[in-house]
Amino acid sequence: MRRIISMLMENEPGALSRVIGLFSQRGYNIETLNVAPTDDPTLSRLTLTTAGDDLRIEQLTKQLNKLVDVVKLADLTEGAHVERELMLIKVRAVGAARDEVKRTTDIFRGQVVDVGPTIYTIQLTGPSDKLDAFVAAMPEVDILEVVRSGVAGISRGEKVLSL
């Protein structure tokens, strides 16, 4: 089962490598990863997606919690949550494809953020499966480059991950 694990960690050199290292050390996979400082400059928020059954994820979260740099951790998939991913995708936009790409972008509520005589760069946000669907919706289009931010997520309602 896919999980979104989000944590607050000390914004210090080496902290990220400890988290990432734990995954390879203990045989887990990271599917997406997203990390940036928070409003408190001493803290970083790291969100990652991985897969595993309950037992495996419980063991993983225990091991992550043991890392001295990890201050607080939550499995967002345990409750209602909002998840978003940003994608920038550069496609060949010539001839009939040029209109086709624009139409599909509008349907998905994406934006063309860069235009060239033969290319469009499109920005799209949403849950990961929406981004997958967008790529799948353009089978005839020549995709030149795909950049995805990895999932960022937050719990719905009053629940917060903070100190």
Partner 1 sequence: MELLSGGEMVARALEDEGVEYIFGYPGGAVLHIYDALFKDCKVPHILVRHEQAATHAADGYTRATGKPGVVLVTSGPGATNAITGIATAYMDSIPMVVLSGQVQSHLIGEDAFQETDMVGISRPIVKHSFMVRRTEDLPAIIKKAFHIAASGRPGPVVIDIPKDLTRPEEKLEYNYPTTVKMRSYSPAQRGHTGQIKKAARLLLAAKRPVIYAGGGVVQGDGSALLTQLARRLNYPVTNTLMGLGAFPGTDSQFLGMLGMHGFYEANMAMHHSDCILAVGARFDDRVTNTVDKFCPGAKIIHIDVDPASISKTIMADIPIVGPVQSVLQELLLQVEALQEKDAGLPDQSSLDSWWQQIDAWRAAHGLFHARRYEKSDMIMPQQVIESLYRATGGEAYVTSDVGQHQMFAAQYYRFDKPRRWINSGGLGTMGFGLPAAMGAKLAFPDADVACVTGEGSIQMNIQELSTCNQYNLGVKIVNLRNNYLGMVKQWQDMQYEGRYAMSTYEDSLPDFVKLTESYGHIGMEVGSLSELDAAMEEAFAIKDKLVFLDIFVDPREHVYPMHVAPNGAMKDMWLSKNERT
Q: Give whichever of 58 and 99 is closer to partner 1, judged by the CB atom.
A: 58
Q: Which helix (H) or strand (E) holds 27?
A: none
* Shortest spacing between CB 17 and partner 1, in angstroms: 7
Q: Does 27 bind partner 1 (CB under 8 A)?
A: no
State how far Cα 17 lies from the chain centre: 18
Q: Give whichever of 55 and 136 is closer to partner 1, judged by the CB atom.
A: 55
What single letter denotes the amino acid at residue 51? Answer: A
Q: Does 38 bind partner 1 (CB under 8 A)?
A: no
In b/e form, how buried is each residue of 74-110, taking b as 16+ CB within 10 angstroms?
bbbbeeebebbbbbebbbbbeeebbebbbebbeebeb
* Shortest spacing between CB 18 and partner 1, in angstroms: 6
What single letter denotes the amino acid at residue 45? Answer: R
Cα distances (angstroms) measured from residue 5 to each of 37, 46, 93, 138: 16, 8, 37, 31
* Shortest spacing between CB 67 and partner 1, in angstroms: 8
| Only segment of 69-77, 83-91, 109-117, 150-158 that touches partner 1 (CB under 8 A) | 69-77
Pick the binder of partner 1 from 55, 96, 136, 160 (CB under 8 A): 55
Q: Does 87 bind partner 1 (CB under 8 A)?
A: no
